[in-house]
Chains A and B, each alone.
Chain A
Amino acid sequence: GESVGLHLPTLSVQEGDNSIINCAYSNSASDYFIWYKQESGKGPQFIIDIRSNMDKRQGQRVTVLLNKTVKHLSLQIAATQPGDSAVYFCAENKGGQNFVFGPGTRLSVLP
């Protein structure tokens, strides 16, 4: 799993700019990954997923990139909006139904 700490890393972006949120995963054999968005006081919400046979997957305003060589995952949000402010975290599938979740990054959208 990822290292833990009391304070989440924060990414601040201007409204309208693109955001890039990163995630490092631990197991080179992991082959399924998910990005979740969690707004304050709510449950995690599925954004997009990707399997290891792909390098890139696009959704509506979001793109996930997978670099298996360095075990790195990123989430790109285009034209970031105030409603995108939330904590974003990745989930790594360790086989079957077993996922490991990162602690997340807080995205703050500045007006």
Chain B
Amino acid sequence: DAGITQSPRHKVTETGTPVTLRCHQTENHRYMYWYRQDPGHGLRLIHYSYGVKDTDKGEVSDGYSVSRSKTEDFLLTLESATSSQTSVYFCAISGDRSQETQYFGPGTRLLVL
């Protein structure tokens, strides 16, 4: 998984609780991404980061926030989890050049009850 770890790998939580997912990379890549994957859908971008403290929204950012205080770590926070946020979350990384390949982590399976 290209030097990418995600934690936790599985989480069950209740509606209304805050949840933070962590992505850690050892590749020193500039770009980091959070995607969600739902049945029948392609991966959808939530947020991405182009450097420490530099982040931007993706296609499905509502209800999510992110932070990147170090090159190697990118956190995704669900401030108040909802059942519609039940999904599998993938972190990805890529280098500096335009149109670089994105490499994915192993994923976090989140169930919101």
Q: Could you tell me which B residues sit within 8 Å of A by CB distance?
A: 1, 4, 31, 33, 35, 39-45, 48, 50, 90, 94, 98-107
Contacts and interface: CB of A to CB of B under 8 A. Distances in A.
Given A42-B107, A44-B90, A95-B99, 7 more contacts: A1-B42, A4-B40, A8-B40, A42-B106, A44-B104, A49-B101, A103-B40
A102 B94 contact: no
Contact of B105 (A6, A31, A41, A43): A43
Contacts of A46: 101, 103
B40 A96 contact: no
B30 to A, nearest CB: 10
25 contacts: A4-B40, A4-B42, A7-B40, A36-B104, A41-B107, A42-B106, A43-B90, A43-B104, A43-B106, A43-B107, A44-B90, A46-B101, A93-B99, A95-B98, A96-B99, A97-B33, A97-B99, A97-B100, A97-B102, A99-B102, A100-B42, A101-B44, A102-B42, A103-B40, A104-B42
